[in-house]
Amino acid sequence: MTRPTAKEIKAIADIAGVAVSNEVAERIANSIGPAFEGFASVAGTLPFDLEPATFIVVQQAANTPDKGAAQ
Amino acid sequence: MNTEPALMSLTSVAKAIAEKRVSSREATQACLDRIAQWQPRLNAFMAIEAEAALAATDAADAALAKGDRRGALHGVPLAHKDMYYEAGKVVTCGSKIRRDFVATKTSTALQRLKDAGTIRLGSLQMAEFAYGPTGHNAHYGPVHNPWAVDRITGGSSSGSGSAVAARLTFAAMGSDTGGSIRMPAHFCGVTGLKTTYGRISRAGAMPLSQSLDTVGPLARTAEDCALLLGLMAGADAQDPTAVAGPVPDYMAAAREPIKGLTIGVPSAFYVDDLDPEVARILDETVAALKREGADIVQVELPDQRQLTASCQLVLAVEAAAFHKRWLIERPQDYGPQVLMRLQNGLAIPGVIYLEAMRWRGSALAAHLAAVAGVDAVIAPVAPVAAPTIAESDVGNSPDAESVIQRLTRFTRPINYLGLPSLSIPAGFTRGGLPVGMQLIGRSFDEAMLLRIGAAFQRVTDFHERAPKSA
């Protein structure tokens, strides 16, 4: 996964219905580039059956009686 | 115990009012006196409702005289971040766009505190739409840190941090999507609880990112946070993400000793590139917990940079989606930095956003496995104490996002994982600025964090120190 260029960002923003100038597109590219790089090792590696609700499943499994609470 | 009402903790003043040692009017007037003294220098309040508050105190005192105590916070005056809807009240969300917005419903968390008997002092300043970690606000001016008024409070719950620290309110609700409770708690020297995603209903709270937003308190002590959490937590038909099931007895947990508990110190990331004063205070905090009987071990956490990046991707897209209509119709009404950050979300493809959401469960599972041997993890909230308002006023400059990311790098991973984290005052720099440490727990184990935080506060006095008025 590579970070999007200002040109690509301008096109994506236009499709989203919020047109941005070349200058803004350049700034966005600069701002979010590091997030793309940080996520690059995860992107494209996830197993087929994984869906967002897995988070709730894992979270609920951890929701055992509070160890910190008085019994 | 301090007998000057405004200097009491929330639990102390609630007890004093219940026992009729202090009237609601006396407690409220004490807060209003301090607000009059501090507000010109702090800019912590968005609105001050002195007359209505005092009228409400008289009703509360009269009810109590007849034996009618409404709840655990009967007659206690509070103010909250100006993003919690209260029917009939203006809720600005720190913005120009909502300068005149009048809410038609009351947020569940706020209603539960009202049901416990609280009185409204007014509303507190915040970052515009809760999207900023410093405390700057392009429309209403920056909120100032009461420990050094040329310093930031942290954000986005900037007014909450400043007002609680200066003893203008006994506690305040904040919200934490990327660090917005813990940052002000750290920079202002108060106790702040970022709750587990789903612990407290978000109904009627201004949304920023539906997958990351959490409601929580800033207060003077862990015990105060325990009291507030117990009142606000629990299922809510208006918010299906609020979990069902019994609410633990957090006050009881806060009284438990910590002997025999195991606390983990991360081996990397959270201990890298720290200001030497923050590093010293981390070491001193760990030593204090060890003296109280906790076992201290090193923990190796999964790569936190991936979590930080994921948090940024999710937050940017969801915030942009909430704001899309105004981004089209009223872009000129946003402050430059908030507009810039909302525009960031436009550039992230749907597939990338969904990958970040799909990975969340696996990332949480990996984290829980890494901390399986410990009861909590301790880490700094930020690598530095409060910067000056001037040096952190980066607006929409090209390096603004990188400055923001550096400041919030220790808080965002926790939001992505949806975990609870308690920020506690842990010391002061040699220049007199407060420094906080965060205790990070397992999902829904706020009780453990409050237990450790309260134990630490029984043997330290950082949370009791109040900034001096000039």
**Residue where the block lists tokens 């200002």:** A6
Interchain CB distance below 8 Å, B364 and A29 = no
Residues B179, B411 contacting (CB under 8 angstroms): yes
**Residue where the block lists tokens 């919690």:** B84
Q: Could you say which residues from 83 to 142 on chain B have a Cβ atom under 8 Å away from some Cβ of chain A?
A: none
What does the pLDDT read at residue A69? 53
Interchain CB distance below 8 Å, A54 and B357 = no
Interchain CB distance below 8 Å, B306 and A67 = no
What's phi and psi for A33, nearest 5 deg? -50, -50
Interchain CB distance below 8 Å, A52 and B360 = yes
Kindly give the parts of chain B with pLDDT less than 50.
1-3
What does the pLDDT read at residue B469? 78
What does the pLDDT read at residue B401? 81
Statement: residue A65 has pLDDT above 80: no
Interchain CB distance below 8 Å, A27 and B341 = no
Residues B78, B170 contacting (CB under 8 angstroms): yes
- CA nearest to B378, candidates B271, B258, B265, B257: B265
Distance from the Cα of A7 to chain B's closest Cα (Å) equals 11
What does the pLDDT read at residue A71? 37
| Model confidence, pTM | 0.96
Residues ≥6 apart with Cβ < 8 Å to B246: none
What does the pLDDT read at residue B403? 81
Query: ∠ CA B225-B274-B291 to the nearest 5 degrees?
Result: 55
What does the pLDDT read at residue B185? 98
Q: Which of A32, A52, A62 sits opposite B443 (nearest CB)?
A: A62
* Calpha distance B325→B211 (Å, rounded): 20
Q: Which of B306, B354, B361 sits opposite A41 (nearest CB)?
A: B306
Specify the amino acid at residue B454: A
What does the pLDDT read at residue A64? 63
Q: How far is CA B359 from the centre of its chain?
A: 26
Statement: residue A70 has pLDDT above 60: no
What does the pLDDT read at residue B2? 47
* Predicted confidence (pLDDT) per residue in A19-35, tens digit: 899 999 999 999 999 99
Closest residue in chain A to residue B309, using alpha carbons only: A35
Q: Which residues of A touch B357 (CB under 8 A)?
A: 52, 55
DSSP A67: S
Q: Which of B107, B157, B162, B180 is catalytic?
A: B180
Q: Which of B81, B89, B114, B194 is catalytic?
A: B81
Q: Which of B24, B156, B160, B175 is catalytic?
A: B156
B380 sits in which H/E element: strand B376-380
Chain A interface includes B373 (CB < 8 A): no
Closest residue in chain A to residue B313, using alpha carbons only: A35
* Calpha distance A53→B15 (Å, rounded): 43
Q: Could you say which residues from 3 to 42 on chain A have a Cβ atom under 8 Å away from some Cβ of chain B?
A: 4, 8-9, 12-13, 16-18, 20, 24-25, 27-32, 34-39, 41-42
Would you call B468 a catalytic residue per the annotation? no
Distance from the Cα of A69 to chain B's closest Cα (Å) equals 4
Would you call B160 a catalytic residue per the annotation? no
What is the average pLDDT score of chain A? 87
Interchain CB distance below 8 Å, B309 and A36 = yes
Would you call B259 a catalytic residue per the annotation? no
Q: How many CB pairs under 8 A join A and B?
A: 171
Interchain CB distance below 8 Å, B343 and A28 = yes
